Amino acid sequence: MHVTMEEAQKAIEAARAKAVSLDTQMCIAVVDSGGNLKAFHRMDDAWVGSIDIAQKKAKTALFFGMKTGQIGQLSQPGGPLFGIEHSNDGLITFPGGIPIVDKDGVMSGAIGVSGSTVENDHTVAEAGASAIGATELPDHPWRT
Amino acid sequence: MHVTMEEAQKAIEAARAKAVSLDTQMCIAVVDSGGNLKAFHRMDDAWVGSIDIAQKKAKTALFFGMKTGQIGQLSQPGGPLFGIEHSNDGLITFPGGIPIVDKDGVMSGAIGVSGSTVENDHTVAEAGASAIGATELPDHPWRT
Amino acid sequence: MHVTMEEAQKAIEAARAKAVSLDTQMCIAVVDSGGNLKAFHRMDDAWVGSIDIAQKKAKTALFFGMKTGQIGQLSQPGGPLFGIEHSNDGLITFPGGIPIVDKDGVMSGAIGVSGSTVENDHTVAEAGASAIGATELPDHPWRT
Amino acid sequence: MHVTMEEAQKAIEAARAKAVSLDTQMCIAVVDSGGNLKAFHRMDDAWVGSIDIAQKKAKTALFFGMKTGQIGQLSQPGGPLFGIEHSNDGLITFPGGIPIVDKDGVMSGAIGVSGSTVENDHTVAEAGASAIGATELPDHPWRT
């Protein structure tokens, strides 16, 4: 049910390879299905401020089973989830956090990446998550 | 008077029944008139991130004697309560939190629900609160 | 792997029955195998301060797979784990928190009880945990 | 100089190999010379409560340039540093955290290990730190 250490390392290696190809320095975090940290990797010269953001992105994606950027669209001023980032000791709701879904459609964990543009963060997270599973739950009440 | 445990359980059972009828998985929290947790129920497969949100919705509704969605309307950018969610260790100001008002018009507690769309969260909270009382205070300074 | 809501309710009902038989008013919390709150029940007239303690006892037992009183013995001044309560946003290391172990010897969650003497808290927690599983892991590195 | 990611991984691999040889499941954290998380590795079946303790041990060792067990001896009741664990958002002052010192005698980071007895935690941390440097600073004001 939980992502294993072997899977977490495979995800981090894939994310790191993508970060290198983009010439970026990233923090990469993997959490298990309880939202608890499984593995963390800070590339040399990555921002110190990204340590917490990468972990919060992974947790945010896991907490609600969605990519963080999708939650960010729902939590803008006037949106249905405006202010959700004040829960759970602080969420990060811009791109870079992605659920990891196993072959049975069950969320086994999530990955969070921070250190460059949100587009690059998202691309690197996708590379990591895709190396070990799917990145979308089969169904989701917030998805239109 | 505080909501009793018997009432809290009745509210949770009614909320849970509504959640099942909507095919949703919810976290349901009841707080007393001091804003302190009375009962909590996490349905199987409910989001981990909803544990905190359900409790914060219940507290938010209790703290100000209003449905959380009404506070959310007042706390948008430019609104009179903009930023209120930074108080009280974090509020949640979108729908799903509802006061519980006894037959004398006194607030005895509140319920908070999280786990689906805000419309479903609100519907389930209404089912819970209505099972044991009213959901609006007789008068309120913020109500226009 | 995780304790189910049906199991959590069964544990809470057994704990409550024991609390009633002891003429005590208890807060009873159940967490899943990730340490996340599954269910909570505050009996009428239980102390407000026990809300947090019951939850921290359940988390402490789950975090280390031991009864909280055993951790308390190891964390006395001069003991090997002195000061461990400063981790994980605060632990409670006196009796009343007990792991819940399934038939395969795997920890599926934990229960925490607070509201009376530590002896009564422990007795009520045992009644709750025993209703749905074992209360000791098959092996443990801290057990002598 | 900060510990590099290559060094951090080498330390974690050495620590992990030692943990496997001891038949233990550990959380292993490496921080840089600023006390900021560089790498984290949670072996399958390691305690959830050890995630935070491993990181706090690494930070504690780094914050004061000493093995955590030595700080623990100074912080007992009546000792000169009694209560130091209340600083820095919580320290852990029992064995398992060790400074990493480069060939010039400069502290480049620290490692923290949690998951078994404090003796095993310390042994695993030593294996990790020793793989990439020394574990004692040349001089230290607290060393008698």
The minimum CA-CA distance between A130 and chain B, rounded to whole Å, is 22
Instruction: Name subunits touching B (3+ CB pairs < 8 A).
Output: A, C
| Residues of D contacting chain A (CB within 8 angstroms) | 2, 4-5, 34, 36-44, 48, 51
For D61, counting Cβ atoms within 10 Å of its Cβ (0-12 exposed, 13-18 middle, 19+ buried), the class is buried
The reply to whether residue D4 touches residue A51, judged by beta carbons under 8 angstroms, is: no
Neighbour count for residue D89 (Cβ, 10 Å): 9
Chain B CB contacts of C36 under 8 Å are 42, 48, 51
Task: At A119, list the tokens.
Answer: 């587009």
Tell which residue, B129, B127, B123, B137, has the closest CA to residue B100.
B129
Nearest CA in chain C to D54: C87
Compute CA C112 distance to the chain's CA centroid, rounded to the nearest angstrom: 3
Percent of chain D at pLDDT > 90 equals 95
Nearest CA in chain A to B54: A87
Neighbour count for residue A90 (Cβ, 10 Å): 13
Compute CA D56 distance to the chain's CA centroid, rounded to the nearest angstrom: 8
pLDDT of amino acid A55: 98
As for the ipTM of the complex, it is 0.95
Q: Write out pLDDT tens, residues C134-143.
A: 999 999 988 7
Compute CA B88 distance to the chain's CA centroid, rounded to the nearest angstrom: 16
Whether D8 has a pLDDT exceeding 80, the answer reads yes
Q: Which residue, among C87, C139, C140, C142, would best test binding to D if mutated, counting the most D CBs under 10 Å from its CB?
A: C87
The minimum CA-CA distance between B2 and chain C, rounded to whole Å, is 9
The reply to whether residue C83 touches residue D77, judged by beta carbons under 8 angstroms, is: no
Q: What is the mean pLDDT of chain A?
A: 96
Mode of pairing for the β-strands spanning D97-101 and D107-114: antiparallel
Mean pLDDT of A63-69: 97
Q: Is C6 helix (H, G, I), strand (E, B) or coil?
A: helix
Mode of pairing for the β-strands spanning B27-32 and D27-32: unpaired
- CB contact at 8 A, B73 and B81: no
Would you kindly state where each structural domain of chain A is located, as residue ranges?
Answer: 5-130
Nearest CA in chain D to A28: D39
Distance CA C141, CA C132 (A): 24
B42, containing H or E segment: strand B37-42
pLDDT of amino acid C144: 61
pLDDT of amino acid B144: 61
B119, containing H or E segment: helix B118-130
Distance CA A126, CA A132 (A): 10
DSSP alpha helix (H) spans, C22-140? 50-64, 68-74, 118-130
Q: Write out pLDDT tens, residues D77-89.
A: 999 999 999 999 9
Higher pLDDT, C1 or D133: D133
Contacts B–C by Cβ distance under 8 A: 34
Instruction: Name subunits touching D (3+ CB pairs < 8 A).
Output: A, C
Mode of pairing for the β-strands spanning C27-32 and C107-114: antiparallel
Q: What is the pLDDT along chain B (144 residues), one digit of tens a residue?
A: 799 999 999 999 999 999 999 999 999 999 999 999 999 999 999 999 999 999 999 999 999 999 999 999 999 999 999 999 999 999 999 999 999 999 999 999 999 999 999 999 999 999 999 999 999 999 888 876
Nearest CA in chain C to D87: C86
The minimum CA-CA distance between A92 and chain D, rounded to whole Å, is 19
Mean pLDDT of A19-48: 98
pLDDT of amino acid C143: 78
A99, containing H or E segment: strand A97-101
Q: Write out pLDDT tens, residues D78-128.
A: 999 999 999 999 999 999 999 999 999 999 999 999 999 999 999 999 999
CATH class of C5-130: alpha beta
pLDDT of amino acid D144: 60
Chain D CB contacts of C65 under 8 Å are 47
A88, containing H or E segment: none
